[in-house]
Structure 1
Amino acid sequence: MGRIFLLMGKSTSGKDTIYKNLIADESLSLKKVVPYTTRPQRSGETDGVQYFFKTEEEYQDLKGSGRIIEERTYHTNYGEWRYFTVDDGQIDLSQGDYMVIGTLESFCYIRDYFGKENVVPLLIDVEARIRLERAMKREGKQENPRYDEMCRRFLADEEDFSEDKLQEAGVSTRFTNNDKIEDCISSIKAFILEKKA
């Protein structure tokens, strides 16, 4: 029986880069699961790669058919943005191990859906100052920077990943990504290989 390794962390903690490296590492044999969202597609993103980009109507159709495993809705300055995982055949634990990017909330839903023994949380930790610097740099590269939304998300993450909530969810293993991301990736790789042994 396979496992789902769920990579989580606050915004700009390096999740996307870490995820890409771990998925590409053939020694880990991790299958990817593409999440869904109703938020606008950012420049450089491709539908079906980072996310499946859906309209609100398409989201409602999936919800109505009972196919949503977990979901989060963010009330942004630009409307409601939904992020969700769909039971669309991507995950079959009899076929191996998977890696998913999510939030603490999505970890809890996926853990409850697939079973605690089948879902392993991987928390990326980054100092607040470093995250804010990275967020400013990333937003500045956008065609239409949304600094107000960046600030809202930064503050929301502080609440969403509070120590109380992490403890309540049973998430204790952390991987630090303040300086060299390669070191963080190596630590996570070693942890995954140990779990798979």
Structure 2
Amino acid sequence: MSNIFYLMGKSSSGKDTLYRKLMEQNRLLKGIVSYTTRPQRAGETDGKEYFFVTEDEMKAMEQKGIVIEKRVYHTIYGDWSYFTADDGQIQENGCDYLLIGTLESYMKVKKYYGEKRVFPVYIEVEDGIRLKRAIEREMQQKKPNYEELCRRFLADSQDFCEENIQKCGIEQRFSNYNADQCIKEINNYMKKNKK
């Protein structure tokens, strides 16, 4: 049976970088691409970081009953949805899977696929470092949106509070101050939980 390793953490904790490096290092690890209705950022590729879809496309998938979980964020530009779909990406082919999400989405995916298959990979970074990373990333955008950056940063304090982490049953955490060390620890964790 394939496992799903669920990568999560506050914004700018390095999830995308860790995801990319883990995928490069692990031949038998397949990525699961989530969906979003938000606009693509500079440097993003449809089908790589996310599948970028319209509201109508998302509603059609919901009507088909293939949306496993969905989150809606009320941004200064309107509502942006992020969701995971049972769209055939996960198969019983001897591979394990890696997915990026939130605590809330982790719980729904774990309920859908079963807690014996879904393993949390919670990434931590000190808030000052995260804020610096977020500002540096935003400065690279054609139209930097610092207001939205601040909204996300503050919302993460509530979404990823200690009480919510505990409710999810997350026992092990991975500090991402040194990406190579963090990846080594995650790889060891995945090997330990290989079925």
TM-score per shorter chain, which class?
Answer: over 0.9
The correspondence of residues 91-102 of structure 1 with structure 2, limited to 5 A, is 91-93=90-92, 95-102=94-101
Corresponding residue of 2:24: 24
Instruction: Give the Cα separation in 2 of the matches to 1:94 and 1:46.
Output: 26
CA contact (8 A) 1:37 1:83 kept: yes
Runs of 4+ in 1 over 2 A off after TM superposition: 93-96
Deviations 1:92-139 (A, max 9, x none): 245431010111011000000000111000000000110001111110
- Give, in angstroms, the shift of residue 26 of structure 1: 3.1
Q: Give how far 1:2 is off.
A: 1.2
What fraction of aligned residue pairs are identical, expressed as a percent?
51
Query: Counterparts of 2:106 and 2:163 in 1: how far apart (Å)?
Result: 15
1:37-116 correspondence runs (5 A)? 37-93=36-92, 95-116=94-115
Q: Structure 2 CA distance, aligned partners of 1:117 and 1:51?
A: 26
- State how far apart, in whole Å, the 2-side matches of 1:142 and 1:51 are: 18
SS of aligned partner of 1:196? coil
Provide TM-score, normalisation by structure 1: 0.96
Instruction: Find the residue that maps to 2:12 and give its secondary structure.
Output: coil
The 3 A distance-change label for structure 1 pair 93 and 167 is farther
Partner AA of 1:186 in structure 2: K
SS at match of 2:89: coil
Match of 2:187 in 1: 189
Report whether the alignment pairs 1:14 with 2:14: yes
1:150-169 CA distance string (max 9 Å, x none): 00000111111110011111
SS of corresponding position for 2:116: helix
- Structure 2 residues without counterparts, runs of 5 or longer: none
Over the aligned positions, Cα root-mean-square deviation in angstroms equals: 1.1
